[in-house]
Structure 1
């Protein structure tokens, strides 16, 4: 029994270490959500959600740029963990990219091992009603060079706490 309690405490700390933190501010008015997309109730309850945007078509060899935007739909400052998002240099696999036949594109980037809990510098603040965007070239970490149709989904929500409802589709042309 004595060995089980420290293990449970360590597991709880690891799972909760990158959760969202909230700071109340004097801002009360929330700007309208500038994104034209449906968001799950779960995402709205958390106050932070992200979207993926990508061009429909790219030529072989051309950079495959993804725009990742995080929105704060609340009346308070929110934070999310940058780990497993494009807001940090490529350090882990946080996207799932599949070809039309269901085969997953290989991840070719680094895989960082980190100490828990994340330091304060690993969190990004977003003001009430505001958003932050970043572009990332998928070719820097994923094998998506051959022509075809690809579906991209965000899988880093367990670490970052961000919810992304929809996947996006793009084509690599010969």
Structure 2
């Protein structure tokens, strides 16, 4: 019984990591936009996007731009864990070829203290954005030519959602 008294609070702390509390007015209308209602960052006006060239030659850098935009009228923040803003400290992308074979992640896997400390958050002023460019070849084993699809999977920790996946063709 004593173990449950320790496990339950610890589980609650872990599950609340990187959560952002939001408040709304009583007169606000209900939205059917799933990103706004399911994701605290999106509800605060944060939108994340990814960009990569359509075609990349084998041997060239595979540069992906990851941007976060704050469309809200107030400053807000998001957790940089599980985003390109901390480079390759966790597997936050799902990269698959046209046959559904997943590219192996070759970066670090960091163990984390929960809840995240204050320096784990990036603050964005109203109507501002921040971006970073990373080479996907530094974090993933992509060597075979073909068509690849990239999906962002780090939203559970960072609080960010990238609505659309992106694809590129890796050619000889």
Q: TM range, normalised to the smaller chain?
A: 0.7 to 0.9
Uncovered stretches (5+) of structure 1, i.e. residues with no partner: 23-38
The corresponding residue for 1:16 is: 16
CA deviation string 1:105-162 (max 9, x = no partner) = 0001111111112111111000111111110100001011210000000000001000
Match of 1:153 among 144, 151, 154: 151
The corresponding residue for 2:58 is: 60
Q: Using the alignment, how far apart are the partners of 1:46 and 1:142 within structure 2?
A: 31
**Are 1:102 and 2:105 counterparts?**
no
How many residues align? The count is 159
How has the CA–CA distance of structure 1 residues 16 and 165 changed in structure 2, closer, same or farther, with 3 Å as cutoff? same
SS at 1:164's partner residue? coil
Q: Using the alignment, how far apart are the partners of 1:19 and 1:101 within structure 2?
A: 35
The corresponding residue for 2:90 is: 92
The corresponding residue for 1:30 is: none
Q: Using the alignment, how far apart are the partners of 1:3 and 1:21 within structure 2?
A: 29
Q: Using the alignment, how far apart are the partners of 1:14 and 1:163 within structure 2?
A: 19
**Are 1:73 and 2:71 counterparts?**
yes
CA RMSD of aligned residues (A): 1.8
CA contact (8 A) 1:20 1:81 kept: no
Q: Using the alignment, how far apart are the partners of 1:45 and 1:79 within structure 2?
A: 12
The corresponding residue for 2:127 is: 129
Uncovered stretches (5+) of structure 2, i.e. residues with no partner: 23-33
Q: Using the alignment, how far apart are the partners of 2:133 and 2:21 within structure 1?
A: 25
